[in-house]
Chain A
Amino acid sequence: MTGVVVADSVTKRYGEVLGLNGFSANFPEGITGLVGPNGAGKSTLFRLLAGQLKVDSGRLTILGEPAWGQGEFRRRIGYCPEPPSLFDWMTGNDFVTTLLRLDGFSREEAAARCARAMAEVALTGDGNRRLRVYSKGMRQRVKFAQCIAHDPELVLLDEPLNGVDPVGRASLSVLMKQFSAAGRHLIVSSHVLYEVERLTDQIVMIANGQAIAQGDLHRIRDLIDSRPHVIDLETPDPRLVGRFLGAWDHVVSVEFPEPGRLRVKTRSPDEFYAALPGLVVTEGLTVRSVRSADDNLDAVFRYLSEGRR
């Protein structure tokens, strides 16, 4: 098999818990989505690829090199981990520049690359603020900046859109597409199929530490489309936002589970995610985060996992 990442029967245990269980997949060039419910093994795979963990058995290569390997080939890879933790005492510019310096760039080159990367993620004006004051969305963007600043061939993005506001999601998605159009490769993980599907139709689906499907996902989409998709929004004015969303044809229901939170069920997540940023901008709404409650997706993954046994 050839690909930017090749996994052959990869197993990784945490004591008694199996993180990956004979995971085999071939991630081709371009953008590939790694989709699976929470706890499926996505982060384990990314940590193996980032050299944080070692495989217990099987073979895992990244750009033709063993994933555990260290050294210069790591400069060909950019990694955006899922946790929001950063060096909070640093400014955004310090953070990106320091990591570039660790990759061997001179002070001047690092500063120039940092400025470009921060501009690409629309953080130029916030570059001199400390990371501890960054919002969740800004943290995701500065993480994205550090992983593209050294111009890697392959970028690994672990749940990059998690907790990002609708406008931020749209701009990050555009950035990913631009990055791919420039001949780079991306592997993007998400527990929300629709997020990834808008970026690419190359999908690897993972559940219980195994790859359960790879490639075309129309069959899976059909399964998911038959169930209403649940989306949680965080907003200071749920009733106002709910009034607008409730008027959309594909929205089945709008609920207010707790203060500052809105739960929407829609039969057309594609339309929902496409239209939300426009609504937020035109109506001047504040939506702090958008999160897909993946209960329905879990059911589909269970269905697929059971079908393989």
Chain B
Amino acid sequence: MTGELGRLGTVVWLSFRGSVYGARALGLAAFAAMPAVIVAAIASARPAASAISDSALALFGLLTLPIVAMVVILVLAAAQFRTEIDAETLVYLSDRSVDRSTLVVGKYLGSVAAALVLILPSSLLPLAVAILGGGSAYGSGVPGAVAAAAVLATLAYGGFFLFLGLATRSALLVGLIFGFLWEELLPLLPGDVPKFTVIFYLRSYLSSVITSGPLSGYGGALDGSSAAAVLVLFGAAFVILGCFVFRFLETAPEKESV
């Protein structure tokens, strides 16, 4: 017999494998390749070396992080429970002796791992394409900071979207509203309102660790480690909330056959 940790590993693996399989994963991979394709197109126009590199970084702040990563995480994390409830496969997991919280945490980690398989290349490949296309080299900490921001975004959004998948049958719709209205509009408002968005902390982190180039003035007012801590805690808080919700959640599909 193995303990809860062994069961957690099984759930993580199951969730990861299920997430990277099939047409949905292929579609997301194509979507995630968009930034690299755009940078390649810019490079092909032969602008100045610094312009190619800067455009790759700017694209990370404007497209990869707030749109590509957000959509990839939303689709993968929100689907973890909702799709399985509707497909009536969740029962195979929930009627086992595994603790329900283990299922939630395992599915969170599995979906985060699967999202990172798509988001990390989507974040780093444009930088590589920029250099290969004649762009100037980045400072030594830039690729690491970009990768860390992608990981933090995945952890934070992943927890929230996983929770949405448990809390509402319209997780995708609510997630899109959150991503494209809340996250895009609130940062434009004055005062402390932007602090109620995830993107505020991602921008704070990036502008704190990348001190030159387009991302250095990306916004946010918090130091990097505090911003990172807020993002990790934000994701963890929603995973804990998800554990609580799932403990009391009925998991039969809505289209009920009596």
Using CB atoms and an 8 Å cutoff, list the residues of chain A in contact with chain B.
14, 17, 19, 38-41, 43-44, 47, 50-54, 70-75, 77, 79, 81-83, 85-87, 89-90, 98-99, 101-106, 109, 146, 209
Contact = CB atoms under 8 A, between A and B. Distances in A.
A53 B250 CA distance: 5
B250 A74 contact: no
Main DSSP-derived SS at the A contact region:
loop
A51 B256 CA distance: 15
Given A54-B250, A105-B2, A14 B256 contact: yes
Contacts of B95: 50-52, 74, 77, 79
Contacts, number: 100
Given A89-B18, A102-B97, A104-B97, 11 more contacts: A52-B91, A53-B250, A70-B99, A70-B247, A72-B97, A75-B97, A86-B89, A87-B14, A90-B17, A102-B93, A104-B1
Interface in B6-60: 6-7, 10-11, 13-14, 17-18, 21-22
A19 B94 contact: no
Nearest to B9: A101
Given A101-B6, A101-B10, A81 B91 contact: yes
A295 to B, nearest CB: 18
9 contacts: A14-B256, A44-B256, A53-B250, A77-B95, A89-B21, A102-B93, A104-B97, A106-B6, A146-B92
Nearest to A70: B100
A33 B42 CA distance: 69
Given A52-B251, A53-B252, A105-B1, A81 B97 contact: no
Given A79-B91, A87-B18, A105-B1, A71 B99 contact: yes
A77 B22 CA distance: 32
B2 A106 contact: yes
B94 A52 contact: yes
B140 interface: no
Contact of B14 (A47, A50, A98, A209): A98
Contacts of A70: 99-100, 247
A192 B132 CA distance: 69
Contacts of B97: 71-75, 102-104
Nearest to B86: A85
B10 A41 contact: no
Given A74-B97, A101-B6, A81 B1 contact: no
A104 B2 contact: yes
Contacts of A54: 250
Given A81-B91, A101-B7, A104-B7, A44 B96 contact: no
A106 B1 contact: yes
A243 B235 CA distance: 66
Contacts of B221: none
Given A14-B256, A17-B258, A85 B3 contact: no
A205 B10 CA distance: 39
B223 interface: no
Contacts of B96: 74-75, 99, 102-103
Nearest to B253: A83
Contacts of B3: 104
B92 A99 contact: yes
Interface-centre pick from A14, A43, A77, A103 (highest chain B CB count, 10 A): A103
Interface-centre pick from A17, A52, A77, A79 (highest chain B CB count, 10 A): A52
A190 B252 CA distance: 20
Contacts of A86: 89, 92
B96 to A, nearest CB: 4
B98 interface: yes
Interface-centre pick from A52, A101, A102 (highest chain B CB count, 10 A): A102
B103 to A, nearest CB: 9
A77 B94 CA distance: 12
Contacts of B89: 85-87
A128 to B, nearest CB: 16
Interface in B202-258: 247, 250-252, 256-258
A102 B96 CA distance: 7
A102 B91 CA distance: 12
Top 3 closest pairs, chain A to chain B, by CB: A89-B21, A75-B97, A101-B10
Nearest to B257: A43
Contacts of A14: 256, 258
Interface-centre pick from B22, B87, B247, B258 (highest chain A CB count, 10 A): B258
Contacts of A19: 256, 258
A109 B6 CA distance: 13
Contacts of A74: 95-97
A102 B6 CA distance: 8
Contacts of B88: 81, 83, 85
Contacts of B1: 104-106, 109
Contacts of A82: 257
Nearest to A51: B95
A306 B257 CA distance: 23
B100 to A, nearest CB: 6
